Amino acid sequence: MNAAMLRMMPAATLALFFAFTLGAGARQTPPATNATAATLQDFTRRVNHYIELHKKLEKTLPALPKQTDPATIDKHQRALGQLIQAARKGAKPGEVFHPPMQRLVRSLLRPIFQGPDGTQIRNEIFDNEYKGNVRVLVNARYPDEVPISTVPPQVLGQLPKLEEELEYRFIKNNMILFDSHAHLIVDYVERAFQ
């Protein structure tokens, strides 16, 4: 292409021409990844890994009958809990709520708890809060003496959706990932709100 032809081309066409000719064969850099999207994607992958394990182990137990009583449900929960605990022996905090997700949870919840309705929302969560000393441990049974907290819709609306086996709950100001079928604490975020 001669100089006269180059001068007659619109600037955008010229830019595309050079980008195509000079960039052919050159390695293209990938677009920048949104850090929040990457954090959520990694969290979802970790949750799905746990759910796969949960479902695989739950299939080894006899199914609960449609009409059942609390004692049978408790027995089933404890059996499933023991299977999961054995499979996740050595599980540590941060395996599901990895550090970037812990920071994201705190940043998502901060405006809710520091906002104008923060005190009311906190009171909803702590309505039945156990007053004793509770240690939150990964892969441990949810303490039987601690009432299961409610989680207001304002909080749930800020967090990623979960499969039916898992729920977000609170023990004091720690947000836990609660396996409701096995009555286990899968992981937790310390000081999820101040």
**Structural domain for 148, as ranges:** 35-60+69-127+136-189
Q: According to the model, what pLDDT value does residue 23 have? A: 44
> How would you list the strands of the sheet with 174-179, edge to edge?
140-141, 184-189, 174-179, 166-171
Please report, for the domain that includes residue 78, its CATH number: 3.10.450.160
Which positions of the chain have pLDDT values less than 70?
1-33, 127-132, 194
The answer as to whether 13 is a domain residue is: no
Q: According to the model, what pLDDT value does residue 4 have? A: 40
**Count of domains observed in the chain:** 1
The answer as to whether 47 is a domain residue is: yes
Residue 167 bridge partners (DSSP): 178
The answer as to whether 27 is a domain residue is: no
The answer as to whether 75 is a domain residue is: yes
The answer as to whether 10 is a domain residue is: no
pLDDT tens string 67-108: 889 999 999 999 999 999 999 999 999 999 999 999 999 999
DSSP state of 177: E
Residues making up the chain, counted from first to last: 194
Q: According to the model, what pLDDT value does residue 194 have? A: 63
Q: According to the model, what pLDDT value does residue 40 have? A: 94
Q: Report d(CA 111, CA 106) in Å as an integer.
A: 9
The answer as to whether 25 is a domain residue is: no
Q: Report d(CA 108, CA 87) in Å as an integer.
A: 32
Q: According to the model, what pLDDT value does residue 132 have? A: 66
The pTM assigned to this predicted structure is: 0.78
Q: According to the model, what pLDDT value does residue 24 have? A: 44
